[in-house]
Homo-oligomer: A and B are copies of this chain.
Amino acid sequence: MSTHKVSVIGSGNWGSVTAKIAAQNAIEHPDLFDQHVRMWVHEEQVNGKNLSEIINTEHENVKYLPGIKLPENLVAVTDIVEAAKGSDLLVFNVPHQFLVRLCKQLAEHIDELKKAAAPHPLRAISCIKGLDIKPEDRQVDIPCRLVCQHLSIPCGVLSGANLAPEIANEKFSETTIAYDEMDDKFNVEEKIQNDVALRLWKKLFHRPYFHVQTIYDTVGASLAGALKNVVALASGYVDGMNWGDNAKAAIMRRGLLEMVHFANVYFPDETSPETFMKESCGVADLITSCAGGRNHRVGKEFIIRKFINNDPSVTIEQVEADLLNGQSAQGVLTAREVYELVALGKRLSNFPLFVATYEIAFSNRDVKTLPLLLDSSPRGSL
């Protein structure tokens, strides 16, 4: 039987870690996977040398994952079509804002790519966290669906309590893979086919230090991964005010409930509360993100500057710029988009924490009103 060939689209911090894992498992399962795993690298110069060359000769991504040895069977390729061609398993792991542009580039060659993947069907998985919200259309979309739409191939989700530096160092972690290429879940043949694909993805990513659990709920996994960033921002507010562990747990609990409620409102019948409550991509990712991570850091620092150091002129964008070296904290963008969406749908009162998180960041709301806002919310909404 022909082996499966893997390409990772993206070579940032998390992209390089997932590529490392896939390359390790290709070696471990030669019966299943082609021995070379390719990684698309957006070429740039590092100390006068091409990043792709450094990766291919020194086996280290010195720019985005310094200090971590990459497997020698991981090959950097700078042309995205060339990087994907011949592979049947595509792993998307790029910053959210680049996804559509890259999909369009690949879409121009999709017939060629599908042909080169044969005898296997072309399949994808997304490790990208974020939402595509169009408040004016009152619509939400998720990264894996953008891949499906642009390339007309199935695309699942890999998401979990996965701080990349810890996994790069092979510290123990869990993750969730959600995959659903079924048109009809009651069609036995389709379900068997889907479960075969799900096992294949698990073989590609499961490591002794990286435990994979599998589910079908791609929507729930995507929403949890994006919305928890808003809660992480709010938990940063609590730590900025030094309100303690009780208050932080209260915010996280409420955040989890609003995440589930958001899923029910905007994707009715497409997602399960269990994904949020039981899986690594749900409650565990929320816990990890609220313990640290960039959204938590931005929320905390913003509150310290504005309310502890009493600087009314500080903006959250400025804090982002100062802390994240020009990058953005996904939670700030998501908080704004979620707010605009629920405001247009006249659903503000159903999401008191999401709304308060936005208003404290952008509308001069006093952070001290946060506990009272939570109290006034309708409990029955779940």
Contacts and interface: CB of A to CB of B under 8 A. Distances in A.
Interface in A221-274: 243-250, 252-253, 256-257, 273
Contact of A288 (B171, B243, B249, B375): B249
A301 to B, nearest CB: 19
Contacts of A171: 243-244, 246-247
A25 interface: no
Given A172-B250, A211-B371, A374-B211, A245 B291 contact: yes
A163 B249 CA distance: 11
Contacts of A166: 244-247
Question: By DSSP majority rule, is chain A's interface helix, strand, loop, or mixed?
Answer: helix
Interface centre among A279, A280, A382 (most CB of B within 10 A): A280
This chain: how many copies in the complex?
A: 2
B252 A284 contact: yes
B211 A375 contact: yes
A277 B277 contact: yes
A22 interface: no
A377 to B, nearest CB: 11
A249 B288 CA distance: 6
A161 interface: yes
Nearest to A375: B211
Given A171-B246, A174-B253, A249-B288, 10 more contacts: A163-B244, A163-B245, A172-B247, A245-B288, A245-B292, A249-B287, A250-B280, A252-B284, A253-B279, A287-B287
